[in-house]
Amino acid sequence: MITIRQAKEDDVEALLSIYNDIIKNTTAVFEYHPHTLLMRQSWYASKQKDGYPVFVAEEGKKIMGFSSFGPFRAWPAYKYSVENSVYVADGCRGRGIGKLLIAPLIDAAVQRDMHIIVASIEATNESSIRLHQSFGFEEVAHFKQVGFKFGRWLDLKFFQLTLNTPTNPKED
């Protein structure tokens, strides 16, 4: 049985393994070089410090995927918008794990009074596009040839989900 839970410090090596496989073998991350354990530990510590969730999908003791969100842009007026990330390990895709990992992100965004969740998805990644659309994300932008990986130009699509929060937004 697959369970979803908050990530722990002990999970970081498994998260690194999944992320590095995605860097090396997919266009889901516009990165060329694998990350180090120190980089992933720093990423996790930053998420914890800033109060952003990191969820893992686990079966037995195996981490099969993870999800998180963080700031969409650094300027103060974007404080009600976040950008999500969902990664599923090779060999575990197609089992509905992505769906299990997005649902708690949406709940966490509502609990934190976020208004928009943005997903940036490589334009040919139909499974991720369908996954996000199944939760109500709508395509709002298509950037052509903004990335280059594996010897070809990559387009990037932005999708967004609008939440009914916050009830009383403020400028501060």
pLDDT tens, position by position, 83-141: 999 999 999 999 999 999 999 999 999 999 999 999 999 999 999 999 999 999 999 99
Dist. CA 132–CA 136, nearest whole Å = 7
End-to-end CA distance of the chain: 44
Per the confidence metrics, is the pTM higher than 0.85?
yes
Q: Where are the domains of the chain?
A: 2-162
Dist. CA 65–CA 60, nearest whole Å = 13
In percent, the amount of the chain with pLDDT more than 90 equals 98
pLDDT at position 53 is 98
Residue 68: HSE in the Cβ half-sphere, 13 Å Cα cutoff = 19
User: Quick one: 116 exposed, middle or buried, by C-beta within 10 A (0-12, 13-18, 19+)?
Assistant: middle
Q: Say which CATH class 2-162 falls into.
A: alpha beta
Dist. CA 68–CA 160, nearest whole Å = 15
pLDDT at position 91 is 93
